Amino acid sequence: MSVEDRRVKRLPREVRERQILDAAVRVFSEHGYHEASMDEVSEVAGVSKPMIYAYLGSKEDLFAACIRREAGLLMEAIAGGIDVELPPDMQLWMGLRSFFEFVGANKQSWRVLHRQVISQGGPFSEEVLAMRSRAINLVDALLVGAATKKGVDEHAQKSTEAMAAALVGAGESLADWWLDHPAVPTQTVASWLMNLVWMGFGDLVEGEVWTPSEH
């Protein structure tokens, strides 16, 4: 082991892993999974390749670890930004704003979570699917709670999970669009989605349902 590696090894493991993952997210974001090299991750992280393998395993393991960490950070940011004491519309607004604030501050993270994982699929998608499920459950719980307080019937409450899934999908698509239009302010993007969905969600919570007219 080189003198440099011996020095690096003195750092706490969690600090070294964080440094490696930070570098990996940057490299995977810029080049994609297949084009990214462990040599570049090593160079950006400032550690040798053997140390990367020792700490986080193969390139596949490293990519999976990046997805897992970034998904966790995203969900923490969303959940942490919601004040459950506020009315449902403000809870949803705070959650959307927290989501877009995270994406805006962590564009490389979102590229890995959304664009790179979609292009790779396979086992990597399991982590993102788990994240999406958590997000859907979070929104669904908010809507069910609001609907219950309004005395909405059971049939309407059951539709909230589907609506929550639609909202999460819309948020992902808008965030992906936003990567290519970074000049749009965070608050503006979040308000677009809020206005798009809450008009419908608000009626749903109130028990008002649209039906097609008879012809």
- Res. 146: pLDDT tops 90: no
Who has greater pLDDT, 63 or 120?
Answer: 63
Confidence of residue 49 (pLDDT cuts 50, 70, 90): very high
Which of 23-32, 60-69, 140-149, 203-212 shows the lowest mean pLDDT across its residues?
203-212
Whether the per-residue pLDDT at 150 is higher than 90: the answer is no
| Residues above pLDDT 70, as percent of the chain | 79
User: What's the CA gap between 128 and 68, in Å, rounded?
Assistant: 8
pTM of this prediction? Answer: 0.81
Cα–Cα separations (whole angstroms), residue 92 to 64, 185, 188: 30, 19, 15
Question: Are 96 and 201 in contact, with CB atoms under 8 Å apart?
Answer: no
Q: What is the pLDDT of residue 1?
A: 46
Residues sharing a CB contact under 8 Å with residue 111, sequence separation 6 or more, in sequence order: 29, 179
Distances (CA, A) of 136 to 127, 132, 168: 14, 6, 6
Residue 207 has pLDDT above 80, yes or no: no
Confidence band of 3 (pLDDT split at 50, 70, 90): very low
Residue 85 has which token pair? 């004491």
Residue 210 has pLDDT above 50, yes or no: no
